[in-house]
Chain A
């Protein structure tokens, strides 16, 4: 498990490792305001490597929160180590909306299987390598598109919300009634 040490050194180490896995837009938002200490956008194909490294560091997958934006599906992996207050939010942007596919991190975090199945249920995001990608919470024969996908008109832009930036939200997307009549 990761040694307890200087928080700054730890942050630098994790930053460096994540950069090594091809992380982009690495930011450290104020944990008091957003709840995460480090946020990064990862390339989907390197996510598994990164999670294997993080597992060795003593990190745990808390949850996997998917959200649909104009740019694509943003899959946020929230990870925590429980030994020190340093929560990570690693994001994978699945750009192809027609066939959203991203590799599964099941080999590292077996608990991700269910979270991925849940995202598959709600958004139709396919996680390649998940051993049992069948509907988990919804009936297997549910008609229609995945229920949490939004009406294209109601979609917000990722950049306008600024959740991948420094946390400071810009004016934008205001007045849109998100999901009221999502498909």
Chain B
């Protein structure tokens, strides 16, 4: 793969498209989430701004842009401002190897999933910095929770993906999609149900969403690591959260739900439909379940998910050896 001007232009266009996708996704998801929350709670949700409240998210983001950024006394200035930026920008990179459609991959790389897993760790770094730098005890507690949660759940997440990687024999995301068929029973969901379940649980924990939203546990730590953030700082954290959700949903769609393949007419729409179904699932459980406690959260990981994912990996390896 040679580096040419065309190649750079392609990457540049891809990055711009990804930024547009992330911002657009955040706006859509804020609306969907609030509307879904409203409907689940039997109230209309956003209603007044625009038809059916569709402009609510845009107006909210305008408000956040215009808000004063408040810096607490004794906060660490550099880190305080660096943290939201660090939360947002690495996610850009993570979208590069995702195959949205058959030919719609920003950067076709043989080890795409390695890239994603390697840079996914940046998110928690920003949480840690944000909580630490804001000189707030809630923030520090939230940051500490974020780190141990993220580190713990990365392991079963990787192990669950590894089983699929064994099966497909490749680290390239497009090839993983190609290894699956068009019909739902040909997807990895069917032959790797346990891995799918483990991945589903871990992705909720990795994105700090309820019922695993301990770093920002509202009723305990007010807002956890972003307690002191207002205006754009908060907006960037928010954006990063939704971008992370979108990313793990795309990875989920790619690995387990057949990616861009569908019963009729393969294409990027299938990826989007599947990813947004996963997103809806995340939203749905957020408004259904109470939050787990921190030691329970770690127990679920170390006592259940980790052994199960190891078992799954082991069985997969044996089966592959026997069959292949």
- A–B proximity contact (CB within 8 A): no
